[in-house]
Amino acid sequence: MQAADIAGTVSEAGLTKLLTDLDSTLSATRSTLTANEFRDLQTIAANLNNGLSTSAYLTYAFNALVNGNAANATWTGGGANSVALGNLAVGSNATKLAELTGKWLQGTDLPSSKVTMSGYAPFSVSSSVVANPLFGASGPTMSDINQGYLGDCYFLSSCAEVANQNASIIDSMFTDNGNGTYGVRLYVNGAAEFVTVNASLADGGSIFNNATDIWASLAEKAYAQFQAGGLDTGNSVNYGDSYSTIGNGGSPAFALEALTGASAINEFIANGGSWLDYGLNASLSVTAYSAGGTTVSLLSTIAADLGAHDDVILSSYTNATDSSGRTTLVADHAMSVYGYDSASGDLEIRNPWGTEAGQTWDTTFEVSLSTLLSDGDVITTDNAGSTASSTKSIVASGQNNETFIFTPNFGQETLYGFQPTGAGSDVLQFAASAFGAGLTAANQSADWQALISPSHLTQNAAGSAVITDIYGDSLTLNGVSKTTLANSALAGDFKFV
């Protein structure tokens, strides 16, 4: 663990070295994992945020490796077929440890090389490393989506929409480990889960999504690897860790939830002359239903969603062309709704096929909502932008001994880069009354004990501590666990006035 501890922060390189060194020992001695060694790994997993700071990504990955995960059932590694793997346990050999380390920390559990899509002959891909940057100079953009030869329009149109509406969600989705591997965050039931991918892309990044940067290709690859832990596409086709699983179609609702962790998603379904509205929660269970929605009211809803940077996806079920014969609407195809033209009253649509030499389709076009109603189409929206915009962000400067002051009714804020331990640790300052009646600045200890009580200190799905005061304000300390914050040695990091 000394190698993994970099100034109080656990590194991916350090955890990888710990495991590969252990693997080398098992190989050299032709032995298997002992009870003591396995117990030590479990102790490390349980204490990654005890006196140390570990990202939500590495905490999740190391725990999945050591303590088990549904994705551990198989290993694919870019082969045509998956083989049995299983969770780490006493008696595990060097090969199993190496493959689990590859799966969770090195990104070597590549999707299957064999791709099968309905209506097409099966084909094979070979992977090679691509040196392009993660993001372009402008960060993630909608133009980075150019679908290629895979039936995952529902996922890539969602990637394009989120990049256009709230690029910070895409930016925060990736952790660059600095060695050609990336942690990628995806959500299930509103909770963050993670996979690790490397920069080795199918056919050098030329056959599926292609762009001058690789974030969308990595997201596509991560979504394929993610299926090893359980089907999450909205379709019933399941080849496990495979492009085949995500490439046979799916649901934009599932894709938007996986990308954003949205707490509410709505599906508006054309039904004769009106719209049905199904309200879904983060688990994609129906929580509300209404019928008889008008095009006027839905258009107002969509315009408001776009204004709030929520995501909107069109699922088209008809084919259409423009006046020059170029394709606009495509049957059984999902597209991004990136804007609303108030002058024409039409929706602005982008096809995830993107741009390509000699293309016969319009990358972007406009269409009326009344046309979509008569075509029997579906509109899917989420509340990701509304949720994100209601939470303000603060980024620490990186200087020592910063003090962050929060007065009553400060709202909902997320603090990035807070340093809770070590020389020059930062300070949080609150009103003495913020965590209970009768508390005063005269008794800092009692104030601090009230703050760390279960009613005021919790932890979100990403493993970050959340402080909630009696006024309904909340402060999320990104990357700092509840356990770290509640350590009595850190009581001096709080000031009550």
Specify burial of residue 483 (Cβ count, 10 A radius: 0-12, 13-18, 19+). Answer: middle
Cα radius of gyration rounded to whole Å, the chain: 24
**pLDDT of 393 over the 70 cut:** no
Query: How much is the pLDDT for 389?
Result: 54
d(CA 82, CA 40): 30
Query: How much is the pLDDT for 244?
Result: 98
Query: How much is the pLDDT for 433?
Result: 83
Query: How much is the pLDDT for 454?
Result: 87
Given the structure tokens 């402008």, which residue do they identify?
A: 138
Task: Give the 3-state secondary structure of residue 369.
Answer: helix
Region 119-141: mean pLDDT is 95
Given the structure tokens 């005021």, which residue do they identify?
A: 456
With the C-alpha atoms ordered 480, 485, 486, 489, is the resulting torsion angle positive or negative? positive
451-486: pLDDT as tens digits: 998 888 998 877 889 999 887 778 999 889 999 888
Write out the two tokens for 342.
Answer: 């108030």
324-370: pLDDT as tens digits: 999 999 999 999 999 999 899 999 999 999 999 999 999 999 999 99
Count other C-beta atoms under 10 Å from residue 482's C-beta.
19
Confidence band for 273, pLDDT divided at 50, 70 and 90: very high
Region 401-407: mean pLDDT is 83
Could you give the C-alpha distances from 41 to 12, 54, 90, in angstroms and in order? 15, 15, 11
Write out the two tokens for 372.
Answer: 């979509």
Q: How far is CA 204 from the centre of its chain?
A: 24
Residue 448 DSSP class: H
Task: Give the 3-state secondary structure of residue 263.
Answer: coil
DSSP characters over 284-343: --EEEEEEEE-HHHHHHHHHHHHHTT--EEEEE-S--B-TTS-B-S-TTEEEEEEEEETT
Q: Select from 247, 245, 269 the least CA-distant residue to 156.
A: 247
Contact assessment for residue 336 and residue 163, using Cβ atoms and an 8 Å cutoff: no
Q: Which helix (H) or strand (E) holds 465?
A: strand 465-468
Q: How far is CA 435 from the centre of its chain?
A: 32
Residue 256 DSSP class: H
Query: How much is the pLDDT for 438?
Result: 77
Q: How confident is the prediction for the chain on average, in pLDDT?
A: 93
Contact assessment for residue 190 and residue 261, using Cβ atoms and an 8 Å cutoff: yes
Query: Greatest CA separation found in the chain?
Result: 77
**pLDDT of 391 over the 60 cut:** no
Contact assessment for residue 366 and residue 346, using Cβ atoms and an 8 Å cutoff: yes
Query: How much is the pLDDT for 214?
Result: 98
> E strands of 141-226, at which residues?
174-176, 181-188, 191-198, 200-202
With the C-alpha atoms ordered 168, 178, 416, 52, is the resulting torsion angle positive or negative? positive
149-205: pLDDT as tens digits: 999 999 999 999 999 999 989 999 999 999 999 999 999 999 999 999 999 999 999
Angle between helices 252-260 and 215-226 (to 10 degrees): 110
Query: How much is the pLDDT for 395?
Result: 63
Q: Select from 340, 293, 349 the least CA-distant residue to 320.
A: 349
Residue 104 DSSP class: I
| Beta-carbon contacts of residue 466 (< 8 Å; ≥ 6 apart) | 457, 458, 459, 460, 474, 475, 476, 477, 482
Query: How much is the pLDDT for 274?
Result: 97
Query: How much is the pLDDT for 119?
Result: 94
**Domains of the chain, start order:** 5-106 (no CATH), 260-383 (3.90.70.10), 391-496 (no CATH)
**pLDDT of 385 over the 70 cut:** yes
CA atoms within 13 A on the CB side of 157: 31
Contact assessment for residue 305 and residue 314, using Cβ atoms and an 8 Å cutoff: no
33-44: pLDDT as tens digits: 999 999 999 999
Share of residues in the chain with pLDDT > 90 (%) = 74
Could you give the C-alpha distances from 253 to 127, 237, 239, 313, in angstroms and in order? 30, 17, 21, 9
Contact assessment for residue 171 and residue 135, using Cβ atoms and an 8 Å cutoff: yes
Specify burial of residue 64 (Cβ count, 10 A radius: 0-12, 13-18, 19+). Answer: buried
234-267: pLDDT as tens digits: 999 999 999 999 999 999 999 999 999 999 999 9
Q: Select from 202, 188, 138, 182 the least CA-distant residue to 164.
A: 138
Query: How much is the pLDDT for 64?
Result: 98
287-334: pLDDT as tens digits: 999 999 999 999 999 999 999 899 999 999 999 999 999 999 999 999
Query: How much is the pLDDT for 357?
Result: 93
Query: How much is the pLDDT for 455?
Result: 82
Region 54-59: mean pLDDT is 92
**pLDDT of 82 over the 60 cut:** yes
Residue 103 DSSP class: I
Write out the two tokens for 120.
Answer: 């097409």
Query: How much is the pLDDT for 272?
Result: 94
Count other C-beta atoms under 10 Å from residue 127's C-beta.
18
Given the structure tokens 């350090």, which residue do they identify?
A: 14
Lowest mean pLDDT among 57-61, 138-142, 468-472, 478-482: 468-472
d(CA 106, CA 72): 14
d(CA 165, CA 340): 13
**pLDDT of 388 over the 70 cut:** no
Query: How much is the pLDDT for 278?
Result: 97
Query: How much is the pLDDT for 392?
Result: 59
Region 109-120: mean pLDDT is 97
Q: Select from 169, 146, 170, 168 the least CA-distant residue to 157.
A: 146
Given the structure tokens 């600045």, which residue do they identify?
A: 441
